[in-house]
Every structure is written in C-alpha cells, then in structure tokens.
Structure 1
Amino acid sequence: MTAKHRILEVGGERIHVVEQGSGPLVLLVHGFPESWYSWRRQLPVLATAGYRAVALDVRGYGRSSKPQDPAAYRMLDLISDNVSVVRAFGESSAVIIGHDWGATIAAQSALVEPEVFRAVGLLSVPYTPPGGPRPSEVFAGMGGGQEFYVSYFQRLGRAEAEIEPDVRGWLAGFYSALSADTMAAADAPDPHFVAPGGTLRERFPTGALPSWLTQDDLDFYAAEFERTGFTGALNRYRNMDRDWEDLATYAGSAIKQPSLFLGGTRDASTMWLSDAMDAYPRTLPNLTGSHLLDCGHWIQQERPDDVNRLLVEFLDSL
C-alpha cells in the first residue's frame, strides 16, 4: 500500500491530503509548525491495521489553500474543511485525531459536528471546553515581564520577520526546544517566552537535531515553509478571540463521543493544562484512555511505536 497525494476542492478552497489504506476513515490533523508529514510514521501502520488513514495539510500549510484574509483561519472554517474532506471521500463519518493545534481542531470538530466525527483522539494538548476569559487577556497576563509566544505571534508580520530569513535554522531550533532529548537545561530561559525586544529564537538550544528528526525530515519541513511562508500557519493564533466569540454557545460543553488522550511527561503543553486532564470525567465522559509517555511535544514522532499501538487499540475498540 503506497501513500497517495490528492488535492480536494472543498468549499471553494483546496485541501491537500495524503491517503493510505482502505477501511473506516481516520482523519489526521497536524499542528504548528508542521504538515501532513508529521503523520508519516502513522499512515502505514493505520493502513496495515485496516483503516483508511488520511493526513491533511491544514489550510495555510503545504499545498492547501492560503487565503489572504486572516479571519479565514478561524476555527469554524477549519471545522468546515474537515467535514468537507470527509464528504469528499464519500463518507458520512470519520474518526478524527489531532496533534498540537490539530488536537484543538479535532476536539472542536467533534464538539461542533458530532454526527460527522464519531470519535476523537487528542495528542499533546488536552481538551478544554470553549468559554472562560477572552484568550488575548489570558495570554497578555502571562510571563511576568516577558511576552508569551502566543501574544508574540499576534501581530501580522512580526514573527514572520524572525522566522523567514532562515526557515530551516528556525525550525531546527524550535523542534529541538520542545523535544525531550534536546531540551535546554531546566534553568535555561523558557523558549515559550520572549524577552522585551527579543525573539523566540534566542531561547532555542543549539547543537544536534533531536533523534526523531533527520536532516531529510528537516529539509522537507523547511522546503514547505520556504515555499508558503509562515503567515498562513501563524494566522491560526490570530483567530483565538474570534474562535472564543464563534463558539460561545458551546461554552463548557463536553465531547460525548469516545475519546483518547496522549501526552508527553516533558511537554509544557500537556503539563500546563493538567487541570483540564483532571476535568476529563466531566469534559470527556467517554474517554477510553489517557496516557502520558516519556517524551516532549512531538509525541507521534518522538514515540511513534507507542503512539501507533495506542491509536490502533483505540480505533479497534470503536
């Protein structure tokens, strides 16, 4: 079974997908700053297990459409893209699995379209129901004199000016900063924050690439972003307040479909949201498993064998 690349015309946009296998549809949604390629170690395993695994490029990434309007990257548009992909494959429902931003996209797709997404798997970022304080206000209050990276990403062109002159080098540093085997020492500056007048890159470790990332892997990721630029990817962060408004009617809502969570014990994204994991009996009442693996943020690339085993077990249980 070889992987097939397709461009789907959905809702006036193009969505690039990579498909492998046949059987029940499983949609794989990547995070920042990645692409369908982050699922390269899951596609063949899920296909062999009897599933039609489809990894997409989220709009703004890779070969998918890159609308100019920042508001075109709001969550409701991404949910619509996911529904349209399911329909384009001739299916009425699918399991959706996401990592990082993809986990949030997957969770909210399942929340808003429960008839389409019959189960959901979340990697690295726990489910937090919509609602609560306005996101921009929360992030502005973090850092104690430093700027949280989400706030740093808000202004159009600012982060792009840091990243795009050396995409490959920036990606190498970012991936390394959040990987368990290349993280800086515990007393090093936190790479999630920016000093006044500084950049994120100043906080990245230097040296060897993380063990999960080959030079060829890095070349692939770099080539994608050198072609597309980073604005589409960063626009996801620039819609968090819009999402908060759009999803207000879902404030506090649980996801009732079967669900799975996988996180890393050395991943800040998982640890910061430990309260969200504690709330799973209420917010994910049909959770089939919550597993913490010894790894950093790039869980399905750092620990592919364990992730694959847990995903197949989850899918087989449905």
Structure 2
Amino acid sequence: MRPEPTAEFRHRTVEAPAGRIHLVEQGTGPLVLLVHGFPESWYSWRRQLPALAAAGYRAAAIDVRGYGRSSRPAATDAYRMLDLVEDNLAVVRALGEESAVVIGHDWGSNIAAASALLHPAVFRAVGLLSVPYAPPGGPRPTDVFSRIGGAEQEFYVSYFQEPGRAEAEIEPDVRGWLAGFYAALSADTMPAEGDPDPHFVAHGGRLRDRFPAGELPAWLSEDELDVYAAEFERTGLTGALNRYRNMDRDWEDLAPHRGAPIEQPSLFVGGTLDASTTWMADAVDAHPRTLPGLSASHLPEGCGHWIQQERPDEVNRLLTDWLRTLQD
C-alpha cells in the first residue's frame, strides 16, 4: 500500500491562539473540520480528504497544537481543552466560514465534542470516531486512572502524566515506537486475547515492552510510517503528550457543563475491537440521552482503533451519507 497522491492537497497555516495551526484542505462546499488523535497528524485523514471533496465538501484536516507544523507552546497547561477548542474556532474563522461540521478521532473526538458543546452556533454537527461522548463530570480523572491496573501494572494514561517520562522511552526510537503502538491497537496485529495488554505498563517497565513485534498492520505501509515518524522526530512528543497532562485541568474548566448533552446532529463510529469504544460501552449506550441529535452509532465488526485508516471505504461512506442528511 502506497501513500495516496497529495497533488490536490492544499497546505496552509492560519493564525490561532496556539500561534499558528497548520492544515491541509481539499474540495469546495460546506466546511468539514477533521481533528486527529494521538500520536497522529493531519495525515491520518489522507483517505477522507479526497472522499469528502468528491462528495461536495471543503474538508480541512488540522495538525492539533503540539503536532506537525502547528505551534508547540512550551507550557504544559497550554494544551488544555479550552485552548484546543479556541484553535478550532480560529481555523473556522480564518477559512472565512461561519460554521463547520467537526469530526474527530481518538483525542480528536474529545476535542470535537468539546467544540460542539461550547460553541453550538459554530459547530453545527459533530462526528465522533472511536471515543464516544461522555459529558463533563464524574470523579477527578487522574484519581480514576491511578486505580486502573492494580498493584502489578500502571495504566498508560497515568504513565503519560509525568513530563519527560514517556518521552524518554519514545524519542530514542520514534519510528520503532510508533510502529509498535500502531500495531498494538490495530485489528490484524494487536496482541491475542490473554496476552499482556499494551494499554498497561509493568512497574519498572516500558509501554513498548508489550507491543507486538513483527510486520506492520495492513493499513500502514513503510512509506506511510516514514511520514508519521519524520514529523515526530522533528517535533518530539512533548506537545502531543501534554494533552494527557491536562485532563484534571479540563475537569475543572468544564465543571460548569457537567452532565450537559450535545444537542446538534451527531454520529458515532467505533470498532468492536477498539478498547476506546468497548471500555466506554456505557457511554455509547447513553448516547440517546447525551447526544439527542444522534443519527446512528455504527460499530464495524473486527475493526481496531485506527478506524478511518483501517476501514477507509466504510468510514468514508458512513461520513458522506451522514453529511448528506445535514443538508436535506
């Protein structure tokens, strides 16, 4: 599998609270803003940009602050959710639009949801991939994550909290780490049931100790891995990891919106083999209440975490079919 031709991709940077946000766009029509997750970039949407453009939309995939060619503020607390939402607002305005449909994957799903929750007049509909919507509230996040795993292992979110700790594991071999991380969460290469779970770290160990060794997942070529690796070798991982280091700040910042539903039209798509979807099954079940504008929840069988890359044709069909309903 080779990377898709990028001749029609238009790269640009726009001013935003982060400093600058880099984005790649294709097509003309109503704006669809695409927001990636960890550890990815605009390139995660390379197979959606042409499909959305062909369907009559102006698709714009951003590098979230801290990633790629976007600005990387030095302060850890510059990566709180409120700041990322403001970046999305700035992108819409810089593109000369008054509103957009926002679609996110992984952390991008949370960012898209928060954008829709806080600015419903701008983000008129929201699509969530892999991570379902859970309204703000509940116990403090780091308290919850610190209890997951028990005495023998540590949950990866807790592992990511201390500045520099995960960077020390990843940055000496960015390409190898990314290959293992992508494989660990892909349907065709993830560890078999009963093997050590790669979402956890043995005390004194590394996250990569539980990554599968061997070939890349079917959706990822060596050339495509090179694209991801080159970006993170240049930028490092701190900006990306700082998203995890602001979960408690987000919990405090969003306290006024505890329990709040998102009223706009919405869509959820999550793979049946994706822990981000299955661990949050209760949130998916609650979508009729928390996402009253939900069109549908789609759960592709046998699909892992990198859903729009593992199942591009299926995801493209689901997205374009849903987007058409917004114009009826």
* Match for residue 299 of structure 2 among 286, 292, 297: 292
Is the partner of 1:293 in helix, strand or coil? coil
Q: Equivalent residue for 2:3?
A: none
Q: Equivalent residue for 2:277?
A: 270
Is the partner of 1:96 in helix, strand or coil? strand
Where in structure 2 are the equivalents of 1:171-210 lying within 5 Å? 171-210=178-217
The runs of 5 or more residues in structure 1 that have no matched partner are none
Could you tell which deviates more after superposition, 37-46 or 181-190? 181-190
Is the partner of 2:267 in helix, strand or coil? strand
* Match for residue 32 of structure 2 among 26, 33, 50: 26
* Distance (whole Å) between structure 2 residues aligned to residue 12 and residue 89 of structure 1: 16
Contact map agreement 2:180 2:208 (CA 8 A) in 1: yes
Cα shift at 1:12? 5.8
How large is the Cα RMSD of the aligned pairs?
0.7
Letter in 2 for 1:187: G
Letter in 2 for 1:38: S
Q: Alpha-carbon deviations, 1:190-242, whole Å to 9, x = none? A: 00001110010000001110000000010000000000000000000000000
Large movers: runs of 4+ above 6 Å: none
- The answer on 1:125 being equivalent to 2:131 is yes
Is the partner of 1:91 in helix, strand or coil? coil
Is the partner of 2:40 in helix, strand or coil? coil
Is the partner of 2:32 in helix, strand or coil? strand
Cα shift at 1:9? 1.4
* Distance (whole Å) between structure 2 residues aligned to residue 57 and residue 200 of structure 1: 25
* Distance (whole Å) between structure 2 residues aligned to residue 231 and residue 90 of structure 1: 31
Is the partner of 1:207 in helix, strand or coil? coil
* Distance (whole Å) between structure 2 residues aligned to residue 163 and residue 275 of structure 1: 33
* Distance (whole Å) between structure 2 residues aligned to residue 38 and residue 2 of structure 1: 16
Is the partner of 2:276 in helix, strand or coil? helix
Q: Alpha-carbon deviations, 1:161-198, whole Å to 9, x = none? A: 00000000000000000000001111110000011100
* Match for residue 71 of structure 2 among 62, 65, 85: 65
Q: Equivalent residue for 2:80?
A: 74
Q: Equivalent residue for 1:259?
A: 266
What is the TM-score normalised by the length of structure 1? 0.99
Letter in 1 for 2:265: P
Q: Equivalent residue for 2:44?
A: 38
Q: Alpha-carbon deviations, 1:67-111, whole Å to 9, x = none? A: 000000000000000000000011110000000000000001100
* Distance (whole Å) between structure 2 residues aligned to residue 285 and residue 11 of structure 1: 31
Cα shift at 1:11? 3.0
Identity rate, percent: 74
The runs of 5 or more residues in structure 2 that have no matched partner are 1-6
What is the TM-score normalised by the length of structure 2? 0.96
Contact map agreement 2:23 2:62 (CA 8 A) in 1: yes
* Distance (whole Å) between structure 2 residues aligned to residue 255 and residue 119 of structure 1: 9
How many positions carry a matched residue from both structures?
318
- The answer on 1:152 being equivalent to 2:152 is no
- The answer on 1:308 being equivalent to 2:321 is no
* Distance (whole Å) between structure 1 residues aligned to residue 284 and residue 189 of structure 2: 26
